[in-house]
Amino acid sequence: MLSKRAKYALKALLALAERPREEPVRIADLARDQHIPPKFLELILLGLKNHGILQSRKGKGGGYLLARDPADIYLGQIVRMFDGPLAPVPCASQTAYVPCADCPNEAVCGVHLAMKAVRDATSRILDGTSLADLRRQMDDASPPLPID
């Protein structure tokens, strides 16, 4: 299950990726446009900033802006930030591996085999898709009206 936190983070980042890089966007505006509880979004954006995904400007005309090129921000990083490892079980995680206390032989464990496959497939998608990639997909899905 994707947490609300991660979902809101992705929505906010995608909204930022759509606009010109240098214009800060206020929390309040982002919250209104994306239907996110403002105070909750505040927390989330702060987290993204502390992880180097966002920058912020204080005072009048301030707000948040992307710290990196959207093509260098991958969905996997965002999801992991808020929801932890992609793997359904710790023993199948690449980034946060923890063995099962009870499992005598991982290589022969059915749960491990199946969940490793799920993890790999998930990673292939989320670690292989950048904000820019996803924006492109979104734009392809709603092509601009032809000028006739």
User: Which residues form the interface with a second copy (CB under 8 A)?
Assistant: 1-2, 7, 10-11, 14, 34-35, 75, 88-89, 102, 105, 107-111, 113-115, 117-118, 121-122, 124-126, 129, 134-135, 137-138, 141-142
Q: How far is the CB of 88 from DNA (least distance, A)?
A: 11
Single-letter code of the amino acid located at 94: Q
Instruction: Determine the straight-line distance between the first and last CA of the chain, rounded to whole angstroms.
Output: 44
The span from the CA of 111 to the CA of 33, in Å, is: 42
Q: How far is the CB of 1 from DNA (least distance, A)?
A: 7
Of 27, 79, 87, 131, the one binding DNA by CB under 7 A: 27
The span from the CA of 108 to the CA of 31, in Å, is: 48
Write the DSSP symbol of residue 95. S
The span from the CA of 5 to the CA of 103, in Å, is: 33
Q: Which residues bind DNA (CB under 7 A)?
A: 3-5, 8, 24, 26-28, 37-40, 42-43, 45-46, 49-50, 56-64, 83
